[in-house]
Structure 1
């Protein structure tokens, strides 16, 4: 996890909360394009392909809490 930048960790945390790219961009004061750039690099660094798996990684690493309705 240390290979991720602070911004990447913030994006991953919000993915773990099931936020959309647009919601993440708004929360981080970034553009949707920048969020997608971060998501690409997070996927490469963690070797994860699917957004659902990124959300699981965020929860398992303690960056996010699982939504209570799952």
Structure 2
């Protein structure tokens, strides 16, 4: 699976983290992607917590919260 222009997207680190955690869950067990995503959006885009949650939802990443991923 390779999203179009994935290496050019600002969200590329999120994509890589999801793939890495899925492939090697024991190595990334201390990382919660749903929390990382919120911090990422706040740091990169300078948005509030609520705006970051809305962005996470728009990126179809709510499953990370539902599954505590």
> TM tier, shorter chain?
0.3 to 0.5
TM-score (normalised: structure 1): 0.38
Higher relative contact order (CA 8 A, sep 6+): 1
